[in-house]
Structure 1
Amino acid sequence: MNFECLRCAAALLAATALSVPAVQASEPAMHGAAKPAAVVQRDHVRFTVLTPRVIRMEWSPDGHFVDAPSQIFVERNQPVPQFTTSTHDGKLQIDTASLSLTYTLGSGRFDASNLTVQSKGFKTAFTWHPGEADAANLKGTARTLDRYRGDTQLDTGKKLDLDQGLISRAGWHVIDDSKSFLFDDSDWPWVKKRSCAACQDLYFLGYGHQYEDILGDYAKIAGREPMPPRFAFGYWWSRYWNYSDSEFRDLVGNFGKYRIPLDVLVIDMDWHRTDGLSWDPKYAKKDAFDQLVGWSGYTWNKSLFPDPPRFLAWLHSQKLQTTLNLHPASGMTPDEASYPAFAKAMGVHNGKQIGIETADKRFMTSLFDTVLDPLRAEGVDFWWLDWQQWPDSKKLPGLSNTWWLNYVFYTHMHRASQDRAIIYHRWGGLGNHRYQVGFSGDSVISWQSLAYQPYFTATASNVLYGYWSHDIGGHMFADDVPEKERHIDPELYVRWMQFGAFSPILRTHSSKEAGLRKEPWRFSPEVFAALREVIDERYAMVPYIYTASREAYDTGVSLLRPLYYDWPDEAKAYDTPDEYMFGDDMLVAPVAQAMKDGAATVSIWLPPGRWYDRNRGEVIDGGRTISCDYTLNEVPVFVHAGAVLPMNPPSVKKLQDMDNGSIVLRMIPGGSATTRLYTDAGDSEGYRHGEYAFTAIEGHRDAHEATLTVAPRQGHYPGMPQAKQVTIELPDAAIPQSVMVNGRAYSRADAQQAGSWSYDGDTLTARITVPAQTVDQSLRVSVRFADDAVDMAGLRYRMKRTAAAVEWLKYHWDSPSPLPDDVSLAAQLGQLIDYHPEQLPILVRAFDERLAKLPEEVEGTHASPEVKAHFASMMKALRGA
């Protein structure tokens, strides 16, 4: 995917203190007026050609038009594309490379009789008139999954409405911006009403099946999808529980004790006083929390946190970022510690509660100045905004409180701090993609909910909302679940965590129930191992994920997206909602069903091309549907053959410790690829205006050789390492015959040593460790394999499944005689290779011969018929795979 050249945003000026806003733009770009050359105006109509695929269409009864930024469109000042205008027989015609628009001059408001837009050059041709329904729309996203089991709301039984997105199989979409609010031109742009209620303000998007192109166009004129800070791609621990300071310290200590990475600690509402808290179980039916008492709060609960600044300082010493939950709907009550300062700022002297009004600039400014910024100064890193109350502003009816709070909180952080802005809240509607991480709410614990979330998350990319954060594992049980069944299903939790690792944000959460304990160390050894493995895998993938996040910023194509972006003309790409692309190279099909006989069988459509089955260790042809089984610790992930994946070394357990100079490049077999690795400082806004670097990478790998070229790093950012240390991994590889690095021959070493290569028998991975070199140097690696090298395809899968079968047999062996020798040896191929890697071809042949006769050898023992039959079925399944 090509990266665009970046516009330079205005330089950021440092804030001297959190409570003093920095003098900088509230958003990187907010230039409402288009270039005059892009505008075609005739009396009461104005057309603006924003891109070859996007035309703004305005009608005004008095001939006055809107140049102010709107909630959705904040950057109309775009390079003028080539287009022509002509007038024939009273009709205005505008032609771009992609569209032809015709309007009957003097005919008034746009309707089906006077306005037409036709496609030019698209395989998917269309002719559009106003009022035409977009029946082929592929949807967008929704505000919340609160109390949804899958896509069904528990209390109403209604299906979730995902609203319309930008992408349609019809090849066009129209955004009616006529009723959206505008921004004023103050130093902190604030919402204002449109002056013309009768005016039309439409944006026609015509793109055929060039879905990625239209997402890029939308990102240019509606604002880019901002990168979260790097720490956001780590593991977030969250639980609705009245934790104390000491309990949090114990919790964090256990993460260290069990070597489980952690970057973000989410503290739910019990951080503040909740005196008089009440709960209306019917809230979801009313979709309002107006009567809830005690949910708002800004005063630390000193019985739980006796010294908040010292507690927060300790968390920072553990390299953890902290977010606190806010329910701001009650405004400011007199019992809050910050009430006197807030009341003074608001000019209130009667000592009464001060109700919230999100569109009141004085209220929101006072809230930050006297309440929230002082908490930030104590050490709070960012806010979890949990607005669940009345949907619209009371001051400006029609203005979504969710939308507006997202804008206010995000842009305030951008103004007041040099830290990269981040908030964590629900979706508010089009334009809210500019305010990043979404909180999808209180989903129901069920397989249906897990099965729905891949589709929900991927479809949100159709509105550029690319960072949904789900309550991994589910939030709460449905009301119809009996008390005795209200406990975590370990298998469901593992599968949900696997989806979480291959989703934008990995955050566990649950309701305030004593039995909902999701700490990995509380599960059986098998479940604990699967959970830790998938969290470790997440941390390993962060360089790949972070590069994809930059791509989303540059192109509008989100990290997690539907298959039809890449295969728009394949019908199956639209019919597989449970699969998605994760970055440019990984296809993921999360397991969302319970296992039978130790594995879950998943039907997977592989798009055309060649794919590396990461689980089975083989390259297979796509353009077909396959069926595979997955044990508890296996995830259906397929990688473009030949891809080079940038990874973290295993030592990275905190993303603050991630060294941009140390990288693992995993070379996937089966072809050639080019890619780029993106790096920046990780936590500043400098990425918007040139403070970043790219490293170009080219690779090729087949059965005979592997070649890799890493170009000098291009770009610069504060703190950028001046040296790079690269480790090359070749999974499912034969033993190298020769390894050359920058023209120098490397020899094999028993351990990872700089300037050598090693071989891991368990993972069948050749690993080349290159000494550090300066970032302005190229790196060239060439690996040769013997012409008669053993075929490694599927070997690792056979190894691990055989080891699992032998382990099962040992635990169920009911014969007085020992296991046959071949059975014991069959489970140890990896170790045998480690001892004698030079004998790999001989060992593999012996393994396959041994494998073929294991059922017969077990059948000849005195084991029970039941044990023999089960072991034989395991071997049959292995051979069938």
Structure 2
Amino acid sequence: MRKIIYLSFICLSIWMISCAPDGYEKTQFGIKAAVDSTEIEVQFFSPEIVRIIKSKQGFNFEKKSLSVIKSPEAQLLKINKTDQLIIVKSDALQLTLDLVSGKIEFADLNGNELLAEKEAGSRFTPFDDAGKAGFTVKQAFALENDEALYGLGQIQNGKLMQRGQTLEMKNSNLNITIPYFYSSKGYALYWDNYAVNTFVDNDEETSFEAIGDCADYYFMYSGIGTKAVAQMRDLTGQAPMMPLWTFGYWQSKERYKTQDELVNVLKEYRKLQVPIDGMIQDWQYWGKDSMWNAMTWKPIEYPNPKVMADQVHGMNGHLMVVAWPGFGPLTKQYKEFESKGMLINFDTWPPNGGVKPYDVYNPEARDIYWDYLNKGVFSIGTDAWWLDSTEPDHINVKESDFVEPTFLGSYQSVSNAFSLEHTKGIYDHQRETTSEKRVYILTRSSFAGQQRNGANSWSGDTGSSWENLGKQIPAAVNFSLSGIPYWNADIGGFFAGRYNKDGGAKNPEYQELYVRWAQFGALTPMMRSHGTDIPREIYQFGKRGDWAFDAIEKMIKLRYRMLPYLYSTAWQVTSNSGSFMYALPLLFPDDKKVADLNDEYVFGQSLLVTPVIKPMYTGKNNDKVFSNFSKTHSRRIYLPAGTEWFDFWTGEKLAGGQEINREAPIDLIPLYVKAGSILPWGPEVQYASEKKWDDLEIRIYPGADGEFTLYEDEGDNYNYEKGAYSTISFKWDDAQQTLSISDRKGEFSGMLSERQFRLVLVNSISGTGLDENTAVRTVTYIGKALSEKL
């Protein structure tokens, strides 16, 4: 009876709209209209963000977004009708709806077109979704030929600009697909759909197509790219603060096989005095594949996992432990999930193990998952999670697999959101369990909104090659541009077996690749060594004094000296929707030379990173591997226009808008700092929290005005959400050559009441490289404003 009443209400609504004098209806958040057999609703979420929903008339459906958590908001809208057009203006943009064709166009307030739907661009083709009536839904747009598009998640195709291609947008080991793009015209679009999508961009159209109940997309007008990222976060949620220690160095491999092996690796790092914070326990600590992911510990190899965690903590390290979404048939979890109909009945990793994934979309199933994980793994003192195979792996694929039921409908209708829901379960439950440890999740997949779950995605099981190293850069910045700030890659690539016949970690060819990958990894949100075939601990590459060892150690030390910069950037991510890795077109939209520059990026506010992605010093001659450092080779670099740049290593000042050749010795990554930058330089430490920041070097790069906010808190709890943190703002007035330091804002337990700032004005003889520099002036700071002319 209820369904009959509801359908009658829908029919009445359609009749009211079609009979309305102007052919449309004003609503609290926008307008509704019926055009031919399509219902169209326009909802404003802010003056700059508008949602478009198109559905077939009379089709009964209910949609609650998995990604979008923002609600529509009433706006001051001006609505006018001229002939067959409805024009809706907010304070930031205008939307035009054609009441004859149903076509929607977006423009700025001056009438300059931003985006238009293609004529007859909305299509609904009936589709039987596992017995449920639905559609294959398509929405097509008409873009300008010279318009650049970025985003779409982490697509490892080596492209920065994502025009002129057809993509199956399906999450997999190496690709993280997010149906979002940003245009060089200053707008972005998010297609809110969780099925496998087809993205098409050609001379005819730009479109998304997937199964679904409706066409549902968000148009966001920012004018500049950094604001577009902020709008996506506004829609889908903010990223919480990660623990301070997670910005240190991580060591992993596939895999440590006993608790003693893992502990001894950390002991060796401490003995060598190479900085490290994180140790990672990979798979099969639970036993055979039939016991896959049992969340228990093999009694011989791991006789007391709590002692293992305690030993790691005793050496000022932290422990990350892997967990998977699939369970072997002999595990307690498998049996419980099976009895409650909470398994998705297809094969996942490992092959021939009978392993099935649990229904991550079911809140009760997520409760059960955490209960086992908490008792078996978190209780021993685990600090962070490695959630592997979160696409998830799908093997022995059958067509029937895709119509398997989940709590939210067929698997095919929600498959791309698997990682989002899985990480949500861990994040929510750990937050409920304790506030003393911030949730930190390493995950192989992602989806729009996953940043709110404390997740850092990695780029999957990459092959160890120079080509794959190069692909990481555009993949990372497009992923970040899609709204998710935390990303990393296996340093050295995952599959490295091709180098084993020539010595593995002692193979000069692999050593050069690994060193260059480590240089890139040091300038990403997480610096993590991992892979199979070849062990990756620093001492596997030689000893101190050997070129590979020394080059790796140099990058680890660089990472630790940058901790104040990294942690303050993390605060900008959390509090101001900032990013760690910026595609150059977002920051330099007027410089056409960076529009498709795929091998450089900006890290944080200030650093231009130009990784070396080709071999320079090693190779093969008659199948014999060699290294040759008799000549220093160079890398071609473009310095974006509109600012001056300082060479980080030499202090040389260079004009933007030019190409240069920069020498790239094996132990150096070309790195440039934007004029006007203020860079806090931390102490040399063995782990992130070893020393307080009571004697920071503050590097000032003159040539433009600049500012920087130093952020500090207790390091690893959620008291910052209650206001337990402090910020200190630094401002550089270039004309007056004066640095102003603000009053400290906020406080927290253990906060420094007095400290030294050593002020360094960067030039060719001061403020360069890793080492501490002679200060122009040292000031004592007690939380009160200071001004120093340098």
The equivalent of 2:51 in structure 1 is 56
Residues 844-872 of structure 1, C-alpha deviations (whole Å, 9 max, x = no match)? xxxxxxxxxxxxxxxxxxxxxxxxxxxxx
Give the Å deviation of 1:53: 2.5
Cα deviation for residue 532 of structure 1 reads 1.4
* Correspondence for 2:219 among 204, 221, 238: 204
Which of residues 614, 626, 635 is equivalent to 1:593?
614
TM-score, with structure 2 as normaliser: 0.76
Residues 705-716 of structure 1: matches in 2 within 5 Å? Answer: 707-716=738-747
- SS of residue paired to 2:689: helix
Contact 2:116 2:142 in 1 (8 A): no
Shift of 1:659: 2.3
Once the two structures are TM-superposed, the CA of residue 331 in structure 1 deviates from its matched residue by 5.1
CA distance in structure 2 between the partners assigned to 1:164 and 1:677 by the alignment:
35
Are the structure 2 counterparts of residues 244 and 200 from structure 1 closer, same or farther at C-alpha, using a change threshold of 3 Å?
closer
Pairing partner for 1:465 from 471, 475, 484: 484
The 8 Å contact of residues 619 and 670 in structure 1, kept in 2 or not, is answered as no
Counterpart residue number, 2:96: 102
Structure 1 residues 234 and 764, CA gap change in structure 2 (3 angstroms): closer
Find the counterpart in structure 2 of residue 92 from structure 1.
Answer: 86
Q: Work out which of the residue numbers 661, 673, 696 in structure 2 matches 1:663.
A: 696
Whether 2:734 is the aligned partner of 1:726: answer: no
Alignment of 1:238-257 (within 5 A): 238-257=252-271
8 Å CA contact 1:331–1:355 kept in 2: the answer is no
Residue type of the alignment partner of 1:370: Y
Residue aligning to 2:714: 681
Is residue 576 of structure 1 aligned with residue 576 of structure 2?
no
Task: State the AA in 2 paired with 1:101.
Answer: L
Change (3 A) 1:219 1:244: same
Alpha-carbon distance, 1:423 to partner: 1.2
**2:637 alignment counterpart:** 604
- SS in structure 2 opposite 1:249? helix
The 1:680/1:623 distance shift into structure 2, 3 A limit, reads same
Deviations along 1:51-107, one digit per CA (max 9) or x if unpaired, are 2322112245568999975112111255x55431223335322112442212244x5
User: Does the aligned pair in 2 maintain the 1:674–1:696 contact within 8 Å?
Assistant: yes
Map 1:367-516 to 2 at 5 A: 367-387=369-389, 388-390=392-394, 394-395=405-406, 396=409, 397=411, 398-400=413-415, 401-418=418-435, 419-435=437-453, 436-477=455-496, 483-484=501-502, 486-487=504-505, 488=507, 489-511=510-532, 513=533
Matched to 2:519, the amino acid is: Q
Hey, what does 2:294 align to over in structure 1? Answer: 297
1:173 CA displacement? 4.0
Identity over aligned pairs, percent? 23
Aligned match of 1:628: 662
Matching residue within 51, 63, 70 for 1:75? 70
| Alignment partner of 1:767 is 2:781 | no
- Alignment partners' CA distance in 2, 1:162 and 1:354: 23
The yes-or-no answer on 1:653 pairing with 2:686 is yes
The separation in 1 between residues aligned to 2:156 and 2:375, in whole angstroms, is 28
Partner of residue 314 from structure 1, selected from 311, 327, 337: 311
**Contact residue 492 and residue 518 of structure 2 kept, 8 A:** yes
Partners of 1:323 and 1:380 within 8 A in 2: yes
Sort the Cα spacing of 1:728 and 1:179 in 2 relative to 1 into closer, same or farther, 3 A.
closer
**CA distance, structure 1, for counterparts of residue 459 and residue 644 of structure 2:** 35
Q: How many Å separate the matches in 1 of 2:464 and 2:357?
A: 35
Alignment partner, residue 543 of structure 1:
564
Is 1:177 the equivalent of 2:198?
A: no
Q: Give yes or no for contact 1:502–1:538 (8 Å, CA) kept in 2.
A: yes
Instruction: Output one character per residue of 1:450-490: Cα deviation in whole Å (capped at 9) or x when no partner.
Output: 122122111111212221121101111366x6834655522
Structure 1 stretch displaced more, 460-469 or 602-611: 460-469
How many positions carry a matched residue from both structures?
669
Q: Report what 1:141 is aligned to.
A: 153
The verdict on how the C-alpha distance between 1:381 and 1:532 changes in structure 2, with shifts beyond 3 A counting, is: same
Q: Distance in 2 between matches of 1:406 and 1:358?
A: 9
CA distance in structure 2 between the partners assigned to 1:558 and 1:764 by the alignment: 27
Alignment-mate amino acid for residue 767 of structure 1: A
Q: How much does 1:578 deviate? A: 0.4
> Residues 93 and 323 of structure 1: is their aligned pair in 2 closer, same or farther, counting only changes over 3 Å?
same
Counterpart CA distance in 2 for 1:54 and 1:667 is: 38
Within 2, Cα distance between the matches of 1:399 and 1:267? Answer: 30
Say if 2:363 is the partner of 1:361.
Answer: yes
Query: How far, CA to CA, are the matches of 2:66 and 2:590 in structure 1?
Result: 33
Q: Distance in 1 between matches of 2:187 and 2:537?
A: 47
Q: CA deviation at 1:177?
A: 2.3
Give 1:627 shift. 1.1
SS in 1 for 2:616: coil
**Residue 46 of structure 1 corresponds to which residue in structure 2?**
41
Q: Deviations over 1:755-807 (max 9, x none)?
A: xxxx99997932267475422x2233344xxxxxxxxxxxxxxxxxxxxxxxx
User: Residue 115 of structure 2 contacts residue 141 of structure 2 at CA under 8 Å; is this kept in 1?
Assistant: no
* 1:637 pairs with 2:671: yes
Rounded to whole Å, the distance in 2 between the matches of 1:763 and 1:662 is 14
Secondary structure of 2:706's match? strand
Contact 2:30/2:42 (8 A) holds in 1: yes
Task: Write the distance in 2 (CA, Å) between the matches of 1:45 and 1:692.
Answer: 46
SS at match of 1:225: coil
Supply the distance in 1 between the matched residues of 2:355 and 2:239 (Cα, whole angstroms). 38
2: CA distance, partners of 1:655 / 1:762: 16
Match of 1:778?
785
Q: Give the number of the structure whose residues are more often strand, by fraction.
A: 2
Aligned equivalents of 2:632, 2:59: Cα separation in 1: 65
**In 2, Cα distance between the equivalents of 1:503 and 1:394?**
38
Change (3 A) 1:688 1:632: same
2:244 equivalent in structure 1: 230
In the alignment, what sits opposite 1:531?
552
Letter in 2 for 1:403: L
SS at match of 1:726: strand
Counterparts in 2 of 1:161 and 1:461: CA distance versus 1, 3 Å: closer
Letter in 1 for 2:362: D
Contact kept in structure 2, 1:102 and 1:115, CA below 8 Å? yes
The answer to whether the 8 A contact 1:342-1:370 is kept is no
- Give the deviation of 1:647 after TM superposition: 2.1
Q: Is the 8 A contact 1:98 1:122 kept in 2?
A: no
Quick one: distance in 1 between partners of 2:176 and 2:385?
Answer: 27
Matched AA of 2:530: H
What secondary structure sits across from 1:271 in the alignment? coil
Residue identity matched to 1:595: M
Q: Which among 563, 567, 582 is matched to residue 561 of structure 1?
A: 582
Answer yes or no: is 1:522 the counterpart of 2:516.
no
User: Rg: which structure is higher?
Assistant: 1
Instruction: Provide the C-alpha distance between the structure 1 equivalents of 2:32 and 2:722, rounded to a whole number of angstroms.
Output: 34
CA distance 1:412–1:159, shift in 2 (3 Å): closer
Residue 141 of structure 2 corresponds to which residue in structure 1?
132
Structure 1 letter corresponding to 2:80: S
Question: SS in structure 2 opposite 1:165?
Answer: strand
- Give 1:850's aligned residue: none
Determine the structure 2 residue equivalent to 1:822.
Answer: none
Q: Is the 8 A contact 2:284 2:292 kept in 1?
A: no
Cα gap change, 1:55 to 1:220, in 2 (>3 Å): same
Change (3 A) 1:381 1:765: closer
Aligned with 2:367: secondary structure? helix
Q: State which drifts further: 319-328 or 516-525.
A: 516-525
RMSD, aligned α-carbons: 3.8
